[in-house]
């Protein structure tokens, strides 16, 4: 356990709650020191896992000036359908847009196709007599008496949350705001969410899905954040509580309690932010942030030094997706984590999406789990050391893992436990490669041009196999990969994203009008940052536009430097759009007219970052103290006696040739035959896959 930090220290605590483990990072701004802690998540009372991790990191709440938090509670509430009983108020005549959706059917001949299932059943969607036109003019005034009566009806029905979506409210939100005010005044215990607070864009179905999701998860997230805040305050915390958004930026816990949907991908986004910080330190332009935890594997992109974001995402996969129309990190996720359960279905081996989680966990945890998981497979094949898991704090049960693999997978398929374990890992590697392809190949990038940054407790175990699967040549495992998302939070900044739909042909657009819209958005951002309890070092503004060719339906987001607005360079905007369209779709039409759909602005309050410290340098051969002995590891069809190394004893300049294992507190890095690992000046493990 790390030494307890002194009370006067100015500390930042960062906590990332995953499906299996809760990770803690502590940054002492006075000394620049970083310490880490990791504890099993406690699903019944999640704050207990945070407290256990903080204690393991040698810190306490009283010493902290800032608490940063990321969690999977928002996304899991949607995926598991465990949210509040929610009602939807919608403009008369449009009750069913939420259910009709976009009628996407990617596989026309799939007899088992199922369309998306709304979070709010039809019986709880209520039409409201009001109408706003697309230009913001009121066509039919809001009947406030009807809203009052609806509120009484919702109370009788036991409704816990209400989503409000009125047509064209992106142009004029007066009706939505008034309806929300009435409901909150008359029913203070009701969670009420209006769509204009989350999005100022057109597309009513996407706006409806977004506000419905926010209301659905609202009561649970509000209680959860309030519980953590109350627990910390009672323990002496007197600092600021900030939550990581899906963009990787930070916002106040109070804002997170009302705009809950903005934290859907908070944990994964923080890992991408940490990867971006390392890329800048290592002068790497293009990288994939690959995070494999206990439940899922996720991938995000750093392109030309910037983390790529998107203005919308599909939750639940394309086929049955519920769209969320907010800014978030462009992350692709698959159900392949250390706790993913393997089972035989119709004579075939399947992996996930079910996870053993933290309780009961994989069979090898010895907590009552009987299902075989990816972690059990790694243990049986020797990739994990039963006596060295979590630095020896947690002993793993090899016999229990073998029994689970043999009884649930091996026997039904006529395999040994070892053969079953090998099959599970092969399926896992293929599944995880889809996550990387989802943010590269499907975005018009060549995965071979990117460096794979592997983290999460299970990421380094599988990284070189995933890289081989898709032709990537270099893998980097950062310091403390098992708690890397928590570490990444320390590099997050205050961030607010704004968008305004503004249909205008590019060649007719007035730069004075464009500037007026942008300045209005940016003023909102400056006011939001000024209203927080944290004072950033400076404020930075970035602009982008959603554009399309005239006649197209869908737009692409184009990042634009401030210089094009200062020069009023219309041709430059068109060139940036053509280039982005060509990258995304493989084609462009420079001679065709383009139009602006929406204007976007990101206002960021930059905060002080932890230093990237160099480590001591030595020879190519690792010191004797780094050698951890040998153990049998399965690859190439049989077990081989394979050397192991202690990562904390490695120094810059050390080189290790595979096969080998590099073990540390919360993770193990696997090198296959032919792989070559070098330790760089910052302590990162830089792996040449296949020695290339």
- CATH for 11-78+223-263, options being 3.30.420.40, 1.20.1250.20, 3.20.20.70, 3.40.50.300: 3.30.420.40
The region of weakest confidence among 109-123, 495-509, 653-667 is 109-123
Nearest to 185 by CA among 217, 220, 151, 223: 151
The region of weakest confidence among 34-38, 99-103, 558-562, 579-583 is 99-103
Question: Which of 100-114, 116-130, 382-396 shows the highest mean pLDDT?
Answer: 116-130
Q: What is the CATH number of domain 494-606?
A: 3.30.1490
Per 3-state DSSP, the chain is made up of helix, strand and coil in percentages (nearest 5) of 35, 30, 35
Per-residue pLDDT band at 320 (split at 50, 70, 90): low
Contact (CB, 8 A) for 398 and 386? yes
3-state secondary structure of 198: coil
Stretch 492-514: mean pLDDT, rounded?
93
Nearest to 207 by CA among 83, 326, 331: 326
What are the pLDDT digits (tens) for 669-681?
999 999 999 999 9
Per-residue pLDDT band at 9 (split at 50, 70, 90): very low
The more confidently predicted of residues 102 and 493 is 493
Per-residue pLDDT band at 8 (split at 50, 70, 90): very low
Q: How far apart are CA 422 and CA 433, in angstroms?
A: 17
Q: How far apart are CA 224 and CA 43, in angstroms?
A: 12
* Residues 182-203: b if buried by 16+ CB within 10 A, e if exposed: bbeeebeebbbbbbbbbbbbbb
Nearest to 307 by CA among 495, 555, 475, 534: 495
Q: What are the start-end ranges of the E strands in 432-569?
A: 451-455, 474-477, 494-505, 538-549, 556-560
What CATH topology corresponds to 268-323+436-487?
Nucleotidyltransferase; domain 5 (3.30.420)
Hey, what long-range contacts does 134-142 have (CB within 8 A, 24 or more apart)?
Answer: 134/168, 134/171, 135/171, 136/168, 136/171, 136/172, 137/172, 138/172, 138/174, 138/175, 142/174, 142/175, 142/178, 142/179
Share of the chain above pLDDT 90, in %: 64
Stretch 291-317: mean pLDDT, rounded?
84
3-state secondary structure of 633: strand
Q: How far apart are CA 470 and CA 458, in angstroms?
A: 19
Residue 230 Rama label (left phi>0; alpha psi -120 to 50; beta): alpha
Phi/psi of residue 258, each to 5°? Answer: -110, -35
Query: Residue 27's beta-bridge partner residues?
Result: 12, 34
* Burial of 537 from C-beta contacts in 10 A (0-12 / 13-18 / 19+): exposed
Return mean pLDDT, the chain.
Answer: 90
Per-residue pLDDT band at 112 (split at 50, 70, 90): low
CATH topology match: 11-78+223-263 vs 268-323+436-487: yes
Q: How far apart are CA 218 and CA 221, in angstroms?
A: 5
State the number of CA atoms in the 13 A half-sphere of 657 facing the CB: 5
Stretch 34-53: mean pLDDT, rounded?
85
H-type alpha helices, 242-381: 253-256, 266-282, 374-380
Compute CA 575 distance to the chain's CA centroid, rounded to the nearest angstrom. Answer: 31
Q: Identify the DSSP state of 291.
A: E
Q: Which residues contact 121 (CB under 8 A, 6 or more apart)?
A: none
Hey, where are the domains in the chain? 11-78+223-263, 80-218, 268-323+436-487, 340-427, 494-606, 624-691
Residue 372 has pLDDT above 90, yes or no: yes
Q: How far apart are CA 608 and CA 494, in angstroms?
A: 11
Residue 333 has pLDDT above 90, yes or no: no
Q: How far apart are CA 164 and CA 183, in angstroms?
A: 11
pLDDT number for residue 316: 65
What are the pLDDT digits (tens) for 381-410?
999 998 888 778 789 999 999 999 999 999
- Taking residue 143's Cβ as centre, other Cβ atoms within 10 Å add up to 14
pLDDT number for residue 544: 95
What CATH architecture applies to the domain 80-218?
3-Layer(aba) Sandwich (3.40)
Residue that the structure tokens 């000024």 belong to: 530
* Residues 351-388: b if buried by 16+ CB within 10 A, e if exposed: bbebbbbbeebbbbbbeebebbbbbbbbbbbbbbbbeb
Q: How far apart are CA 104 and CA 115, in angstroms?
A: 8
Residue 109 has pLDDT above 50, yes or no: yes
Sheet holding 86-91, edge to edge: 125-128, 86-91, 161-165, 191-194
Q: How far apart are CA 59 and CA 437, in angstroms?
A: 40
Q: How far apart are CA 244 and CA 390, in angstroms?
A: 26
Report the first-to-last Cα separation within the chain, whole angstroms: 39
CA 655, 661, 664, 667 dihedral sign is positive
Nearest to 295 by CA among 359, 352, 225: 352
Per-residue pLDDT band at 356 (split at 50, 70, 90): confident
Q: How far apart are CA 469 and CA 452, in angstroms?
A: 12
The region of weakest confidence among 34-38, 511-515, 633-637, 684-688 is 34-38
pLDDT number for residue 441: 82
- Taking residue 390's Cβ as centre, other Cβ atoms within 10 Å add up to 18
């Amino acid at each position: 356990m790390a030494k307890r930090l002194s009370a006067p220290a100015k500390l930042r605590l960062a906590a990332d709650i995953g499906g299996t483990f809760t990770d803690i990072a502590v940054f002492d701004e006075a000394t620049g020191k970083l310490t880490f802690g990791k504890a099993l998540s406690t699903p019944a009372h999640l704050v207990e896992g945070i407290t256990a991790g903080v204690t393991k990191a040698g810190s306490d709440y009283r010493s902290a000036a800032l608490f940063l938090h990321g969690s999977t509670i928002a996304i899991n509430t949607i995926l598991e359908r465990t949210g509040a009983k929610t009602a939807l108020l919608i403009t008369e005549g449009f009750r069913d847009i939420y259910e009709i959706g976009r009628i996407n059917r990617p596989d026309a001949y799939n007899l088992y196709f199922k369309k998306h299932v709304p979070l709010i059943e039809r019986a709880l969607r209520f039409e409201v007599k009001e109408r706003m036109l697309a230009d913001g003019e009121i066509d039919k005034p809001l009947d406030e008496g009807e809203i009052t009566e609806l509120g009484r009806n919702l109370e009788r029905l036991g409704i816990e949350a209400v989503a409000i979506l009125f047509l064209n409210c992106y142009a004029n939100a007066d009706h939505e705001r008034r309806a929300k005010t009435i409901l909150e005044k008359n029913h203070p215990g009701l969670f009420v969410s209006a769509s204009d607070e989350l999005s100022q864009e057109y597309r009513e179905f996407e706006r409806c899905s977004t506000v419905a999701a926010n209301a659905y998860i609202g009561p649970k997230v509000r209680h959860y954040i309030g519980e953590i805040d109350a627990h910390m305050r009672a323990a002496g915390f007197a600092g600021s509580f900030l939550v990581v958004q899906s963009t990787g930026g930070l916002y106040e816990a109070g804002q997170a309690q009302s705009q809950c949907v903005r934290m859907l991908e908070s944990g994964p986004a923080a890992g991408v932010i940490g990867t971006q910080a390392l890329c800048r330190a290592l002068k790497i332009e293009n990288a994939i942030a690959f995070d494999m935890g206990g439940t899922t594997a996720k991938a995000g992109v750093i392109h030309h030094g910037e983390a790529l974001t998107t203005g919308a995402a599909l939750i639940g996969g394309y086929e049955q997706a519920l769209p969320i129309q907010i800014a978030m990190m462009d992350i692709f996720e698959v159900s392949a984590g250390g706790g993913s359960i393997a089972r035989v279905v119709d004579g075939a081996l399947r992996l996930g999406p079910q996870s053993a989680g933290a309780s009961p966990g994989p069979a090898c945890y010895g907590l009552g789990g009987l299902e075989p998981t990816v972690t059990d497979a790694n243990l049986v094949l020797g990739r994990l050391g039963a006596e060295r898991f979590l630095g020896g704090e947690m002993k793993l049960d090899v016999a229990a893992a073998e029994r689970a693999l043999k009884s649930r997978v091996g026997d039904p398929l006529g395999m040994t436990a070892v053969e079953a374990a090998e099959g599970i890992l092969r399926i896992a590697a293929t599944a995880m490669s889809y996550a990387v392809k989802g943010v590269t190949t499907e975005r018009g990038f060549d995965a071979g041009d990117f460096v794979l940054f592997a983290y999460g407790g299970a990421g380094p175990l599988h990284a070189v196999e995933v890289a081989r699967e898709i032709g990537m040549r270099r893998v980097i495992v950062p310091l403390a990969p098992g708690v890397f998302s928590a570490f990444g939070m320390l590099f997050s900044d205050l961030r607010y994203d704004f968008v305004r739909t503004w249909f205008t042909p590019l060649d007719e657009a007035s730069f004075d009008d464009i500037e007026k819209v942008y300045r209005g958005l940016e003023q909102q951002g400056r006011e939001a940052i000024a209203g927080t309890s944290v004072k950033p070092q400076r404020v930075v503004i970035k602009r982008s536009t959603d554009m399309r060719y005239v006649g197209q339906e869908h737009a692409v987001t184009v990042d634009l430097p401030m210089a094009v607005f200062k020069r009023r360079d219309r041709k430059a905007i068109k060139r940036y759009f053509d280039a982005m369209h060509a990258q995304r779709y493989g084609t462009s039409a420079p001679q065709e007219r383009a139009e602006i759909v929406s204007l976007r602005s990101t206002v960021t309050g930059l905060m002080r970052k932890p230093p990237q410290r160099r480590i001591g340098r030595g020879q190519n051969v690792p010191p004797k103290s780094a050698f951890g002995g040998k153990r049998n590891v399965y690859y190439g069809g049989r077990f081989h006696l394979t050397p192991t190394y202690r990562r904390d004893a490695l120094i810059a300049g050390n080189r290790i040739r595979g096969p080998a294992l590099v073990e540390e507190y919360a993770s193990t890095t696997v090198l296959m035959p032919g792989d070559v690992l070098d330790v760089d000046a910052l302590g990162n493990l830089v792996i040449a896959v296949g020695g290339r």
